[in-house]
Amino acid sequence: MAKDTKTAETLEDVGQLAEKGSPSGRRPWIGRSATERVCDMARVQPASVPAEAASIRALLRKVRPAANGMSPKTWANVVSRLRVELRLAGVSMPTVRA
């Protein structure tokens, strides 16, 4: 059985898949992907984070938006965009809280 080409194993894969596709009816993303921003803020490499709910939740708990000069509203937008990127990559993410 062939491997599904739209699955991601790490957040690096999620970022690459997010670059290729954008939600229909929306303009393309401008700037860095949300996965890249979150990983930078958590000080981890995207390739080292498995694309699974538990790992992503743990990663988000490490991030301190204010310590990175980010307002609560901007952080909420980054997390929302992360959800979209995860959905585009076929990653099941039941709940992500900002």
Share of the chain above pLDDT 90, in %: 42
| Six-digit token string for 1 | 């059985």
> How much is the pTM?
0.77
Mean pLDDT of the chain: 81
Are residues 96 and 83 in contact, defined by beta-carbon separation less than 8 angstroms? yes
**71-75 average pLDDT score:** 94
Name which of 52, 21, 49, 22 is nearest 36 in CA terms.
Answer: 49
Mean pLDDT on 45-61: 91
- pLDDT score of 21: 66
pLDDT tens by residue, 15-51: 888 777 665 655 565 667 899 999 999 999 999 999 9
